[in-house]
């Protein structure tokens, strides 16, 4: 601030001389007066000066250059180049003692200061600098002006060095003669930090500091009552002592009951998804040396009950993630170690280097490979490694699905950042755990008299050893390749086990339809056969999809065993293609087909009641099916969204014990509501039911 004081003093001298009679020609010889008055180590250039009045003077621009003596701690000589644009200097006499005093005010459109050799630039819009000059009589009876104070309240200032930019700076600078022109401690704040055009998640820095140095530590700058937002978390430390000679400092950042609200805003600035409750505590030891920041053995913990709640578009809860400290359990983050180094070339910031980042997360291990953020390209690459991090144990499902997951997660996540966008390439995560989920299907709108109206039956899903391969491009297009060791579905109708299900989910693949979810390459083992879906696009907004389900090698007997049927025995396997149309809560089958892959045997053991009530035609059917060797089995199926269906079954073959083994063609049409039967893949039990019901009807007629 001394250079500002000298500028004001020289300008006051100019104004005084102008008032004494040089008003008319002042703009032409003002610069000569400045050159004579500036002195050693100080130059001042005045451009477009106005003619002074009794109270002030306007100017177009002032350029000042001040060179300081070498600093006793660093040995560096600094040069400050300042430019003040479109300003006005005013003065007024102040009430004082015997000798007059003047208050001087300088206002301008902007000020720009460059400090060398560090190349630190300070800028401020609409600066306002005030000063006081006391007029005194010298020993030779002449009048002299003595500066008493200079004040400059910085509001919304900006500091730049290379591509780093510190914005929203506020600081009240006050230099007084009584304090030997040394800035006293004052509150400093900076709202934001940018790298180029990228906002760095370090905001709201606040500290109290001045330029006065302790005699015991003459080369130490002291910052007190410091606090800063790191990734939305408020951290504080009571004292930071920075050695100018060693360019080094050590301090501990404290997290004291920091609410999760700030993290919620960071994760979802336009809404509360996820909703985060709870608070953080912890301590982060920090070492700073020249251009390197190190964190050693940091700790971040959470209060019990802290969690993340995720909701669907309608606000209904989907799942929660428990991040709270459990009794006797490990903290959220422990043994946090990291090193960040600022790289510079030709005195310009060229990159930020990250090395040695590792920590314990819920007792598991997390580490990040060394990485460099290139300031020119705005890019960086790293690999995040997880090892036995117990994440699944902390997930709780809500809504239609409930249940618990178990197991830890391990894997690697290669992450790339480029110009504010990130991508993930072949990230692999897996777990040896699994889980059990309970599903209560939503009630349908069918009348109570409708078949299968008793909805709400619980379905249990059990899965094990999940594994995913994640890819995300800079535009946000994401694919998730998944696989499981097994997936078991249990309901009142029986069990269905999928062995080794796998496939790929596609998210945000179409910019014009961000609500579309794509499943491709799905396959799983089913009843010693396979079921697969080549591709299906599901619109989450309209809940519409069309796809083709293919089955191969499904044993007929497995389908019968699914429902516990005991009076039908069959060999052979079936295959088929079943088109499925999803619309909201319902689905339909336009026209599907199944057929036997090879010949087989069907044995239907009819009961004495069925044979006694059967008409001659049904008796022949029972006899034929008593030991039916089929060579051809063809079935077609059509189902409406309401579940009403027609199954057409064509059997061709013979029974060696029936009519000398003559060829038999058997056609069956089954009309019924197949929704529940199809869900449990119990088509074969439907055949049994159709035959039994027909026999009972014939008996009643008799």
Based on the fold, state whether residues 469 and 597 are members of the same structural domain: no
Distance, C-alpha 272 to centroid of its chain: 13
At residue 19 the predicted structure's pLDDT band, cuts being 50, 70 and 90, is very low
Instruction: For the beta carbon of residue 229, count every other beta carbon within 10 angstroms.
Output: 19
CA dihedral of residues 264, 265, 266, 270 (deg, nearest 10): 120
Cα separation, 529 vs 337, whole angstroms:
51
Based on the fold, state whether residues 129 and 199 are members of the same structural domain: no
What is the pLDDT, as a whole number, of residue 211? 83
- 121-140 pLDDT, tens digit per residue, is 999 999 999 988 887 766 66
> Does position 624 have pLDDT exceeding 80, yes or no?
yes
Based on the fold, state whether residues 341 and 411 are members of the same structural domain: no
Based on the fold, state whether residues 388 and 372 are members of the same structural domain: no
Q: Which residues contact 17 (CB under 8 A, 6 or more apart)?
A: 33
Cα separation, 488 vs 491, whole angstroms:
10
- 21-34 pLDDT, tens digit per residue, is 444 444 444 455 45
Residue 35 within any structural domain of the chain: yes
Cα separation, 81 vs 66, whole angstroms:
7
Residue 344 within any structural domain of the chain: yes
Residue 167 within any structural domain of the chain: no
Instruction: Identify the CA nearest to 439 among candidates 411, 475, 399.
Output: 399
**Across 20-47, average pLDDT:** 55
At residue 350 the predicted structure's pLDDT band, cuts being 50, 70 and 90, is confident
**Across 395-418, average pLDDT:** 87
Is 561 strand, coil or helix?
A: helix
> Does position 702 have pLDDT exceeding 50, yes or no?
no
What is the pLDDT, as a whole number, of residue 550? 94
**Across 382-400, average pLDDT:** 89
Write out the two tokens for 228: 């800063």
Instruction: Identify the CA nearest to 628 among candidates 574, 682, 664.
Output: 664
Based on the fold, state whether residues 622 and 482 are members of the same structural domain: no
Angle CA 221–224–226, to nearest 5: 115
Count of helix runs (H) and strand runs (E) in the chain: 8, 45
Residue 162 within any structural domain of the chain: no
What is the pLDDT, as a whole number, of residue 377? 82
What is the pLDDT, as a whole number, of residue 384? 95
Based on the fold, state whether residues 204 and 349 are members of the same structural domain: yes
What is the pLDDT, as a whole number, of residue 196? 67
Last residue of a domain, one of 376, 402, 423: 376
At residue 118 the predicted structure's pLDDT band, cuts being 50, 70 and 90, is confident
**Across 224-233, average pLDDT:** 83
| 3-state SS string for 342-409 | EEEECCEEEEEEEEEEEEEECCEEEEECCEEEECCCCEEEEEEEEEEECCHHHEEECCCEEEEEECCE
Instruction: For the beta carbon of residue 458, count every other beta carbon within 10 angstroms.
Output: 11
Based on the fold, state whether residues 407 and 319 are members of the same structural domain: no
- 240-287 pLDDT, tens digit per residue, is 998 888 888 899 999 888 777 655 554 444 445 577 888 889 999 999
Lowest mean pLDDT among 194-208, 412-426, 576-590, 652-666: 194-208
> Phi, psi (5° rounding) for residue 685?
-70, -25
Write out the two tokens for 566: 């005991």
Residue 516 within any structural domain of the chain: yes
What is the pLDDT, as a whole number, of residue 691? 44
Greatest mean pLDDT among 68-72, 428-432, 587-591 = 428-432
Write out the two tokens for 491: 């309901």
What is the pLDDT, as a whole number, of residue 20? 44
**Total of domains in the chain:** 4
Q: With contact defined as beta carbons under 8 Å apart, do 158 and 165 qualify?
A: yes
Provide the residue range defining the domain that includes 93.
1-137
**String of DSSP letters for 282-327:** EEEEEEEETTEEEEEEEEEEE-TT-EEEEE-TTS-EEEEEE-SPPT
Based on the fold, state whether residues 307 and 432 are members of the same structural domain: no
* 71 vs 112, higher pLDDT: 112
What is the pLDDT, as a whole number, of residue 660? 87
Lowest mean pLDDT among 223-237, 321-335, 676-690: 676-690
Residue 225 within any structural domain of the chain: yes
**Across 148-174, average pLDDT:** 89
What is the pLDDT, as a whole number, of residue 698? 46
Q: With contact defined as beta carbons under 8 Å apart, do 218 and 209 qualify?
A: no
Q: With contact defined as beta carbons under 8 Å apart, do 76 and 65 qualify?
A: no
Mean pLDDT, all residues of the chain: 80
Based on the fold, state whether residues 227 and 367 are members of the same structural domain: yes
Is 510 strand, coil or helix?
A: coil
Based on the fold, state whether residues 251 and 339 are members of the same structural domain: yes
Based on the fold, state whether residues 371 and 389 are members of the same structural domain: no
- 507-534 pLDDT, tens digit per residue, is 888 777 777 889 999 999 988 899 999 9
At residue 451 the predicted structure's pLDDT band, cuts being 50, 70 and 90, is very low
Residue 496 within any structural domain of the chain: yes
Based on the fold, state whether residues 611 and 656 are members of the same structural domain: yes
> Does position 316 have pLDDT exceeding 80, yes or no?
no
395-397 and 101-116 strand pairing:
unpaired
* 377 vs 381, higher pLDDT: 381
Is 64 strand, coil or helix?
A: strand
At residue 3 the predicted structure's pLDDT band, cuts being 50, 70 and 90, is low
Q: Can you give the length of the chain in residues? A: 702
Cα separation, 381 vs 204, whole angstroms:
28
Residue 151 within any structural domain of the chain: no
As a 3-state breakdown, the chain gives helix, strand, coil percent values, each rounded to 5, of 15, 60, 30
What is the pLDDT, as a whole number, of residue 307? 86
């Amino acid at each position: 601030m001394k250079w500002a004081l000298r500028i004001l003093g020289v300008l006051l001298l100019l104004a005084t001389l102008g008032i004494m009679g040089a008003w008319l020609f002042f703009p032409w010889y003002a610069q000569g007066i400045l050159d004579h008055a500036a002195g050693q180590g100080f130059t001042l250039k005045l451009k477009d000066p106005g003619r002074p009045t009794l109270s002030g003077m306007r100017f177009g621009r002032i350029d000042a250059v001040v060179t300081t003596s070498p600093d006793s701690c660093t040995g560096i000589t600094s040069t400050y180049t300042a430019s003040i644009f479109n300003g006005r200097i005013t003065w007024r006499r102040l009430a004082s003692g015997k000798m007059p005093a003047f208050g001087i005010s300088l206002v301008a459109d902007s000020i720009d200061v460059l400090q060398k050799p560090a190349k630190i630039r300070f800028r401020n819009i609409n600066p306002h600098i005030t000063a006081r000059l006391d007029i005194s009589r010298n020993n030779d009876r002449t009048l002299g002006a003595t500066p008493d104070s200079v004040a400059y309240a910085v509001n919304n200032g900006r500091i730049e060095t290379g591509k780093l930019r510190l914005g929203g700076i506020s600081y009240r600078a006050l230099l007084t003669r009584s304090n030997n022109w040394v800035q006293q401690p004052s509150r400093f704040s900076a709202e934001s930090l940018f790298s180029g055009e990228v906002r760095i998640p370090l905001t709201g820095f606040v500290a109290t500091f001045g330029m006065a140095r302790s005699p015991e530590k003459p080369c130490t700058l002291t910052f007190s009552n410091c606090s800063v937002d790191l990734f939305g978390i408020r951290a504080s430390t009571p004292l930071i002592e920075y050695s100018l000679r060693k360019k080094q400092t050590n301090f501990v950042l404290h997290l004291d009951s920091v609410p999760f609200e700030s993290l919620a805003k960071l994760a979802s600035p336009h809404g509360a998804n996820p909703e985060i409750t709870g608070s953080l505590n912890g301590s982060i030891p920090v070492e700073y040396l020249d251009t390197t920041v190190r964190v050693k053995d940091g700790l971040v913990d959470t209060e019990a009950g802290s969690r993340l709640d995720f909701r669907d578009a309608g606000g209904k809860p989907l799942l929660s993630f428990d991040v709270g400290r459990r009794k006797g359990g490990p903290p959220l983050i422990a043994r946090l170690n990291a090193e960040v180094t600022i790289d510079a070339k030709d005195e310009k910031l060229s990159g930020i280097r990250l090395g040695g980042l590792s920590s314990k997360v819920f007792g598991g291990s997390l580490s990040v490979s060394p990485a460099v953020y290139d300031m020119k390209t705005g890019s960086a690459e790293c690999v995040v490694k997880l090892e036995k991090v117990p994440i699944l144990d902390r997930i709780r499902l809500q809504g239609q699905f409930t249940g618990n997951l178990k197991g830890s997660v391990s894997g690697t996540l290669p992450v790339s950042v480029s110009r504010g966008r990130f991508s993930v390439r072949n990230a692999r995560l897996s777990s040896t755990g699994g889980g059990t989920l309970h599903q209560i299907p939503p009630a349908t709108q069918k009348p109570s008299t409708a078949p299968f109206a008793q909805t709400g039956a619980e379905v249990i899903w059990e899965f094990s050893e999940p594994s995913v391969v994640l890819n995300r491009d800079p535009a946000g297009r994401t694919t998730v390749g998944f696989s499981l060791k097994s997936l078991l579905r249990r309901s009142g109708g029986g069990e269905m086990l999928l062995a080794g299900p796998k496939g790929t989910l596609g998210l945000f693949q179409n910019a014009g339809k961000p609500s579309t979810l794509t499943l491709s390459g799905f396959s799983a083992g089913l009843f010693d056969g396979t079921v697969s879906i080549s591709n299906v696009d599901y619109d989450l907004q309209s809940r519409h999809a069309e796809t083709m389900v293919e089955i191969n090698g499904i044993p007929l007997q497995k389908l019968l065993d699914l429902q516990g049927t005991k009076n039908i025995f069959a060999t052979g396997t079936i295959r088929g293609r079943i088109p499925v149309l999803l619309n909201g809560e319902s689905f339909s089958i336009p026209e599907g087909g199944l057929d036997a892959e090879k010949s087989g045997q069907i044995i239907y053991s009819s009961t004495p009641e069925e044979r006694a009530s059967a008409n001659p035609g049904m008796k022949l059917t029972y006899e034929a099916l008593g030991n039916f060797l089929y060579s051809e089995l063809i079935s077609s199926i059509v189902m409406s969204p309401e579940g009403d269906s027609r199954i057409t079954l064509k059997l061709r073959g013979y029974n060696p014990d029936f009519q000398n083994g003559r060829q038999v063609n058997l056609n069956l049409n089954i009309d019924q509501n197949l929704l529940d039967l199809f869900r449990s893949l119990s088509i074969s039990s439907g055949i049994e039911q159709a035959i039994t019901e027909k026999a009972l009807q014939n008996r009643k007629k008799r």
